[in-house]
Amino acid sequence: MVATSSGAARPDEIRRHNLALMLTHVHRDGALSRAELTQRLGLSRSTVKSLVDDLTQLGLVADVVPSAGQGGSTGVGRPSHVVAPHRGGPFVLAVDIGVEETTFAAVGLGGDVYARQTRATARIQEPGAVVDAVADWVVRSGGDGCDWGDGWLAGVGISVPGTVDATSGRVGIAPNLDWHDVPLGALLADRLPAAVPAAVGNDADLAVLAEHARGSARGSADVVYLMVRVGLGAGIIAAGLPLRGHSGSSGEIGHNQLDPAGPPCHCGKRGCAETFIGDGALLALAGHPGPVSDAAVASVFDQARDGDERALSAIRTVAGHLGHVIGDLVNTLDPERVVVGGSLTGLLDVARPELEAALANATFAVLGRRADLRAGALGDDAALLGAAEAAFASLLADPVGARA
């Protein structure tokens, strides 16, 4: 997007808008020279310098002259200043609540993870315990300082495997956590400092934000992201914007019914998509003993790569079901790109032909040929980094207001 330099808006509004655009570019792409920012924003060099000075004074970016061999040179003459996220500037607390594990991380501008901690979800599964854990991290960060630097806390973002009203932060239902109608956003607001905004979102919705910002969905305006873990969900970017639906539950494809006579689902129905696609379905087909876990899923893929026929058959079967579900999404949404993430990303490595055959069979031919199928680039951190993106949203939208 090109910056605004004229029009009906007041000069201070234009400046704040341009500051937000510049900070977003640095957040998305990391260190950029002033020359690159001048080209991207379509502003004069003097205006760009002034904006950089403002962001530097706000403690958001560092403006440095690179030494020889570090980049930033524009060819002839002095090297261009490089503008990068300020390591001692803002960070957010990102939380990814998984069925098996919950990960907490301090994430800086640019997506750098400063510190992380993983806990067994069973120990903090109650919503109140999650809020207590978040509040504990905020206290340990000191609000304006933290153990991993001199930064300041700019927000909190939480990823939940369930339906979420992103405006209020209310979780409608998270069946794999046994959560129903949980006002998580309000609970957080009661415990966090007033100056620290909190964002709550569905895991797939947040994961697609991260993949769109710095992963496999980057550069595409129309994307479907499949989050395949214990459950199954989709995050959607349409015309460059998140698509969440009227109540925030778009993409809840895990409970689309594939077979009315199929296996029972914990939601009370039979034959839901996630009874055919997901960690539990794969492990059952592979005859894997014991509880569902990331380690167990990884072992099935290892066995398949070593030539185990039952493991390979299980993966191919699940890939076929996933291809059918993706086909329905392609027919409905006509995405440019489809990204598969979560614990079953390996399906694209081990059973891509089976997945693509099922996709081709399920889609209108023209749409099927246009869909670009990719594995997620961010791995298990997609939802976590998406929670960070949501937490940074207020700061990126108005850097001046966020520091006021």
Residue 35 domain boundaries = 11-85
Q: Which of 72, 47, 56, 71 is nearest to 23 (CA)?
A: 56
Q: Give the count of beta carbons closer than 10 Å to the beta carbon of residue 5.
A: 12
Give this prediction's pTM: 0.90
Consecutive 10-residue averages of pLDDT for the chain (404 residues): 60 94 96 95 96 96 76 58 92 92 93 90 82 84 51 93 92 90 94 90 96 96 94 95 87 93 90 94 92 91 96 97 95 94 93 95 74 93 97 96 77
What is the signed CA dihedral for 287, 291, 294, 295, rounded to 10 degrees?
Answer: -70
- The answer on 260 and 133 residing in a single domain is no
Q: What angle do CA 85, 89, 92 make, to 5 degrees?
A: 95
The reply to whether 224 and 299 lie within a common domain is: yes
Residues 103 and 56 in one domain: no
Cβ atoms 85, 59 nearer than 8 A: no
Cβ-based neighbour number of residue 91 at 10 Å: 29
71 in the same domain as 118:
no
Distances (CA, A) of 271 to 195, 260, 261, 277, 332: 46, 5, 6, 11, 21
Those residues with Cβ within 8 angstroms of residue 39's Cβ, 6 or more apart along the chain or in another chain: none
Residue ranges with strand state E in 161-271: 163-165, 170-174, 179-182, 198-202, 223-228, 232-238, 241-242
- pLDDT given for residue 146 in this prediction: 46
What pLDDT score was predicted for residue 4?
57
The CATH number of whichever domain residue 171 belongs to comes to 3.30.420.40
Quote the pLDDT of residue 404.
Answer: 66
The tally of domains found in the chain comes to 3
Domain-located, residue 65: yes
Cα–Cα distance, 126 to 371 (Å, whole number): 40
- Please list the residues that pair with 234 across neighbouring strands: 226
Kindly state whether residue 6 falls inside one of the protein's structural domains. no
CA 97 from chain center: how many Å? Answer: 13
123 and 184 share one domain? yes
